[in-house]
Structure 1
Amino acid sequence: MSSHHDSDYPRRGNAFSRSLARGFLRLAGWRVTNPMPEVPKAVIIGGPHTSNWDGIFTLAAMMQLGLDAHVMIKDSAFKGVLGSLLRWMGALPIDRNKAAGVVDQTVEQFNSRDKLVMVVAPEGTRGGATQWKTGFYRIAEKAGVPIVLATADYRKKEITFARVIEPCGDVEKDMAEILECYARVHPRHPDRLSAPLKAIRERR
């Protein structure tokens, strides 16, 4: 019988993998604060995204927490040994030629599982995106799951699961809250901030 109650987030790994990730973060001078909320299903978004290190530190934080997180990757990549490796790393295949788009296929994954955490990068690039993609919001809204905001603050050297947003259906209102949260985070390269975050910081 599991020692975790039903509201726990999905887990993977063991004591060794968790201590390995903790040691890596400690060696780099980083730590995890305000850990992943105990929810069985969620969409995690990360930001601000200005460096490849953002993903590395965030993945290490998830490993330290034993979080079983997934990403959607085009199905053509799932061939041979690479496919096995991608599945082991938590990737799920998505068919871009299927009538149901990326959002609907991801929602199907949520509906078919008791527990699932999906990671989505709304900025899409680390080089000053002009706008944030809202696919993650539509996924969370359709699947009826919360959005967890993960941040990597380079001034504090902290990975934080800062907020949980329950989509209210008003995407502009919720996006304003999300962007305000990320605008307070200090990125590795401030000059590469996405346009919406730059606009908020310049208004202050």
Structure 2
Amino acid sequence: MKKFFAKLLFNLLGWKVVLEGDVDNLDRCILVVAPHTVNQEYILGNLAYWSLGKPLKVIIKDQHTKAWYGFFIKAIGGIGIDRSQKNDLVNFVAELFKKEDFSLVITPEGTRSWVPKWRKGFYHMAMAAKVPIVIAAGDFKDRIIYLGKKISVEDLETRTYEDIMAELEEYYKKITPKIPENWNPKIY
């Protein structure tokens, strides 16, 4: 039902999904999503995953999972985290991956506003969980969601952090965000 609904809504909205790799890349990974300039990207990303029949989770403020609508947030993959306290998210995520297969959405900018550089947590999560990083992007100019380009576990273990970040930075040069002034293409 989700798959049918997502495909229908994508067609009505005039968006399409472009898969850049094997669809199985989306089964178990840290899904790096950028640019992150509006909340609309979350909805479009969920629809893209649903249209492919893949499980997706996202770490969000726990106020959303504890609110009256929290059952819905959890049902669509929300994992509530209390951001007022220190959390060991890297090991928390590694433990989650031991229990099940899914894609975990991470927006390394950490906000919808302009930032001078990305946070490194997504990289450390992938390393600790021994899962690949998969790249995702919403191009608002062409109305395309790109999914599936993979940086394998082997690449993560043999290449430097700087090399991985340079690859990501180069990849995102082709993407047009909804609010360009909120996006810093220099990510590290």
Q: TM-score, normalised by structure 1?
A: 0.78
Does 1:175 pair with 2:165? yes
Aligned to 1:187: 177
Q: Secondary structure at the match of 1:156?
A: coil
Aligned to 1:13: none
Does 1:19 pair with 2:4? yes
Q: Structure 2 vs 1, CA of residues 183 and 107 (structure 1 numbering), >3 Å: closer, same or farther?
A: same
One of 110, 118, 127 as aligned partner of 1:141: 127
Correspondence 1:67-106 to 2 at 5 A: 67-75=54-62, 78-79=65-66, 81-94=68-81, 101-106=88-93
Largest Rg, 1 or 2: 1
Q: Distance in 2 between matches of 1:189 and 1:96?
A: 26
Aligned to 2:102: 116
Q: Distance in 1 between matches of 2:71 and 2:97?
A: 21
Give the aligned residue type for 1:152: G
Unaligned runs of at least 5 residues, structure 1:
1-15, 200-204
Q: Is the 8 A contact 1:96 1:102 kept in 2?
A: no
Following superposition, the deviation at residue 104 of structure 1 comes to 1.0
Aligned to 1:53: 40
Q: Distance in 2 between matches of 1:21 and 1:156?
A: 19
Unaligned runs of at least 5 residues, structure 2:
none
Q: TM-score, normalised by structure 2?
A: 0.84
Q: Is the 8 A contact 2:172 2:185 kept in 1?
A: no
Following superposition, the deviation at residue 145 of structure 1 comes to 0.4
Does 1:156 pair with 2:146? no
Q: Is the 8 A contact 2:30 2:126 kept in 1?
A: yes
Identity of aligned residues (%): 30
Following superposition, the deviation at residue 82 of structure 1 comes to 4.0
Give the aligned residue type for 2:172: Y
Give the aligned residue type for 2:173: A
Give the aligned residue type for 2:110: G
Q: Structure 2 vs 1, CA of residues 140 and 190 (structure 1 numbering), >3 Å: closer, same or farther?
A: same
Q: Distance in 2 between matches of 1:42 and 1:147?
A: 6
Cα RMSD after superposing both structures? 2.5
Q: Distance in 2 between matches of 1:52 and 1:137?
A: 23
Q: Distance in 1 between matches of 2:65 and 2:140?
A: 34
Following superposition, the deviation at residue 120 of structure 1 comes to 0.8
Give the aligned residue type for 1:144: K
Give the aligned residue type for 2:179: H
Q: Structure 2 vs 1, CA of residues 23 and 133 (structure 1 numbering), >3 Å: closer, same or farther?
A: same
